[in-house]
Structure 1
Amino acid sequence: MNETWQHLKTDVLILGAGGAGLCAILHLMDHHPKPQVFLAVRGLFGKSGCTRMVQGGFNVVLDKSDSLEAHFQDTVKGGQWLNDQELAWKMVSEAPGRVLELENRAGCFFDRNPDGTVHQKPFAGQSFDRTVHKGDLTGIEIINRLSEQVAAMENVTIGEEIRAVDLLFDRSGQKVSGALLIDIRHGEFIVVQARAVLLATGGGPTMYKITAPCQDKTCDGIAMGFRAGATLMDMEMVQFHPTGLLAGNSMISGTVLEEGLRGAGAYLINGKGERYMHRYDQREERATRDVVSRSSFMEIMAGRGTPEGGIYLDASHLGAEFVMKNFRGMSLRC
Structure 2
Amino acid sequence: VWRLLKELKNHTQVTWFCLLGLREQEELKGIFFVLSLLIYSVTVMGNLGMITLIHADPEFHTPIPMYFFLGVLSFLDICYSSVVTPKLLVNFLVSDKSISFECCVVQLAFFVVHVTAESFLLASMAYDRFMAICQPLHYGSIMTRGTCLLLVAASYAFGGANSAIQTGNVFALPFCGPNQLTHYYCDVPPLLHLACANTATARVVLYVFSALVTLLPAAIILTSYCLVLVAIGRMRSLAGREKALSTCASHFLAIAIFYGTVVFTYVQPHGSTNNTNGQVVSVFYTIIIPMLNPFIYSLRNKEVKGALQRKLQVNIFPG
Q: TM-score range by the shorter chain?
A: under 0.3
TM-score by length of 2: 0.24
